[in-house]
Amino acid sequence: MVRMVLSRLVQAVPSLLGVTLIAFVLLQLSGDVTQLLLPMEASEEVRADFRRAYGLDRPIPVQYAHYLARLLQGDFGQSFSYRRPAAEVVLERLPATLELSAAALLIAVLIAVPAGIISAVKRNSIFDHLSMGLVLLGQSVPTFWLGMLMILVFAVGLHALPVSGRGSFAQLVLPSVTLAMWLLALVARLTRSGMLEVLSQDYIRTARAKGLAEFVVTARHAVRNALVPIVTVVGLQIGGLLGGAVMTEAVFAWPGVGTLVLESILKRDYPVVLAALIMVATAFVLINLLVDLLYGYLDPRVRTGAQRG
């Protein structure tokens, strides 16, 4: 197990290096930094001094090495607009995004897993057709448009819930349901297909032949095995959740990392944009690592490297 953890950690290193390289290249492509930071009327001499002072006159690979060294020390550069370290600005907004994503994840899993199980057990029933129809719809709706519809119906029409902002529980409802929808659809569909596959296995027939009650067969024999791959899928979709969070935050003016990135783009505060990009990507790589390990824990066949059936 220790060896597996170590080898996975080592495998994550090139991905993380790649992430920083892409961020660096993007910064290079975004244009001349002196155009951005110095006043328009600054002379070429002043600009040259500035470049020298910040090491911008050195060869690109050297600049990247310095950039990387600074990142490793937790230095993501200074935010132009906040005049504070960019990492600090991003970290401040992180709890809001995590809160929104966690709420969405909870809603999605709590509804989708039971719905998927019932759909599979009662295959071709009205419930099955209805929920699979909703799943299809859920997968076809853009997150931001769903958010707008939610606002239109529940806030503008029914005056039942607040339109935007963060702080109270009521304010969390619309954004988290909006963000959950797409994941909900995905998980419900996968749970159903996973259950259908497990239910056709020999050991389920054996369990039934032993005379076990149908509920025991479903709950103890089928669900446990069907859920193992779902854990992986849900884990791997956390990145998608973070992406969807950007759109949801934009629609509901939720003060998370997503809105921070969008605001910073308008202010051309690129250090903040890149700090957010790198930090979120790093978190994402680490989450995937955890999911892999969790999968190994849940399914011993993966851990020992045996062939998966």
Choose which of 15, 81, 164, 171 interacts with other proteins (CB under 8 A): 15
Minimum separation from the CB atom of position 263 to other proteins (A)? 11
Choose which of 118, 274, 291, 296 interacts with other proteins (CB under 8 A): 274
Instruction: Please tell me the distance from the alpha carbon of residue 91 to that of residue 272, in angstroms, as a whole number.
Output: 11
- Residue with token string 């290193």: 13
Q: Which parts of 206-265 interact with other proteins (CB under 8 A)?
A: 239-240, 242-244, 246-247, 250-251, 258, 261-262, 265
Instruction: Please tell me the distance from the alpha carbon of residue 19 to that of residue 283, in angstroms, as a whole number.
Output: 12
Instruction: Please tell me the distance from the alpha carbon of residue 204 to that of residue 11, in angstroms, as a whole number.
Output: 38
CA-to-CA dists, residue 167 to 43, 100, 170, 250, angstroms: 48, 11, 8, 16
**Site for other proteins contains 136 (CB under 8 A):** yes
Minimum separation from the CB atom of position 104 to other proteins (A)? 14
**Site for other proteins contains 144 (CB under 8 A):** yes
Choose which of 56, 68, 134, 141 interacts with other proteins (CB under 8 A): 141
**Site for other proteins contains 55 (CB under 8 A):** no
In sequence order, which residues have a C-beta less than 8 Å from that of residue 155 and are 6 or more positions away? 161, 162, 163, 174
**Site for other proteins contains 193 (CB under 8 A):** yes
In sequence order, which residues have a C-beta less than 8 Å from that of residue 67 and are 6 or more positions away? 20, 24
Residue 85's SS3 state is: strand
Which of 307, 308, 309, 295 has the alpha carbon at shortest distance from 4? Answer: 295
Minimum separation from the CB atom of position 250 to other proteins (A)? 6
Choose which of 4, 8, 22, 299 interacts with other proteins (CB under 8 A): 22
**Site for other proteins contains 290 (CB under 8 A):** no
Nearer to other proteins, 96 or 242 (CB): 242
Sketch the per residue contact string, 24 through 43, with other proteins: x for CB under 8 A, - otherwise: --xx-xx-------------
216 and 143 in contact (C-beta within 8 Å)?
Answer: no
Binding region for other proteins (CB under 8 A) out of 23-31, 58-66, 83-91, 294-302: 23-31
Binding region for other proteins (CB under 8 A) out of 70-78, 190-198, 224-232, 296-304: 190-198
Minimum separation from the CB atom of position 280 to other proteins (A)? 6
Binding footprint of other proteins, residue count (CB under 8 A): 51
Nearer to other proteins, 165 or 240 (CB): 240
In sequence order, which residues have a C-beta less than 8 Å from that of residue 179 and are 6 or more positions away? 100, 101, 103, 104, 143, 241, 244, 245, 248
253: left (phi over 0), alpha (psi -120 to 50) or beta: left
Instruction: Please tell me the distance from the alpha carbon of residue 20 to that of residue 65, in angstroms, as a whole number.
Output: 11
Choose which of 118, 174, 180, 273 interacts with other proteins (CB under 8 A): 273
Instruction: Give the tokens for residue 93.
Output: 């907004």
Instruction: Please tell me the distance from the alpha carbon of residue 286 to that of residue 225, in angstroms, as a whole number.
Output: 25
Residues that bind other proteins (CB under 8 A): 14-16, 18-19, 22-23, 26-27, 29-30, 136-137, 139-145, 148-149, 151-152, 156, 189-190, 192-193, 239-240, 242-244, 246-247, 250-251, 258, 261-262, 265, 270, 273-274, 276-277, 280-281, 284-285
